[in-house]
A and B are shown apart, each in its own frame.
Chain A
Amino acid sequence: IQMTQSPSSLSASVGDRLTITCRASHDISDHLAWFQQKPGKAPKSLIYGASRLQSGVPAKFSGSGSGTDFTLTISSLQPEDFATYYCLQYDSYPFTFGPGTKVDIK
């Protein structure tokens, strides 16, 4: 299953509402996760099951979608949110990540 993300990068301002899209080449039900990664750090789980917030993750992060189209939304961008975001499908093997979306400061 191929995963695509859009946009590949974007510049945003503090306080902006941000939406990142992930698309699967085949139906993956809700078997999709989102991760945040900062430079030199391990990825951090944000969302699993397409819309379930990982424990300890702020509610400004939300996920939606099922089947082939998914979105990650950050309601009000803060300085600590500037990072690269990846989606992962875990519906069928081999699991596959999206290519990532880099979010930097405008």
Chain B
Amino acid sequence: EAQLVESGGNLVQPGGSLRLSCAASGFTFSSFEMNWVRQAPGKGLEWLSYITSSGSTAYYADSVKGRFTMSRDNAKNLLYLQMNSLRAEDTAVYYCSKGYAGTVWGQGTLVTVSS
């Protein structure tokens, strides 16, 4: 069964950095594109970024472009989201999901940006 497990969420000060990880199992990770999605407290879902199966290309939402970088290590079945210049409005639960259509999701990891 395909499974995704996010980690790395934490409390961080404004302007700080954090790297999230997403561990994949139960499917051929290197064959699938992946996404990051977030959900601020009490709000809807916000798509953040997508990466091709090879990791050669990534796309970003305007809200995080230039601050967040998505990458992957297919040998380790790991997906990453490097988040820099964090702002209070980045406070959210962050999810990774499998495939264009997000057919499998992790349980999420909470990022809180506050002084």
A contact residues, total (Cβ < 8 Å): 22
Tell me which of A9-17, A18-26, A37-45, A65-73 binds B.
Answer: A37-45
Shortest Cβ gap from B111 to chain A (Å): 15
Cβ of B8 within 8 Å of any chain A Cβ, yes or no, is no
Q: How long is the Cα–Cα vector from A100 to B46 in the complex, in angstroms?
A: 11
A103 within 8 Å of B (CB atoms)? no
Residue A44 contacts which of B44, B101, B105 (CB distance < 8 angstroms)? B105
- Count of inter-chain pairs, beta carbons less than 8 A: 58
Main secondary structure of the interface of B (DSSP, over half): strand
Task: Give the size range of B's interface with the partner.
Answer: 20 to 34
B102 and A93 contacting across the interface, CB-CB below 8 Å? no
- Of B44, B104, B108, which one neighbours A45 at CB under 8 angstroms? B104
The closest CB in chain A to the CB of B106 belongs to: A42
Tell me, yes or no, whether B29 is within 8 Å of chain A by CB.
Answer: no
Residue from B45, B62, B100, B108 in contact with A94 in the complex, judged by beta carbons closer than 8 Å: B62
Flag B34-74 by CB within 8 Å of A: 1 or 0 each: 01010000001111001000000001111000000000000
Whether A43 touches B106, Cβ cut-off 8 Å, given contacts A95-B35, A96-B47, is: no
Closest residue of chain A to B101 (Cβ to Cβ) is A48
A44 neighbours in B (Cβ, 8 Å): 105
The answer on a CB contact under 8 Å between B44 and A93 is no
Q: Are A43 and B102 in contact (CB under 8 A)?
A: yes
Any A CB within 8 A of the CB of B25: no
Residues of B in contact with A (beta carbons under 8 Å apart) = 35, 37, 44-47, 50, 59-62, 95, 97, 100-108
A residues at B contact (CB < 8 Å):
31, 33, 35, 37, 42-45, 48-49, 54, 86, 88, 90, 93-100
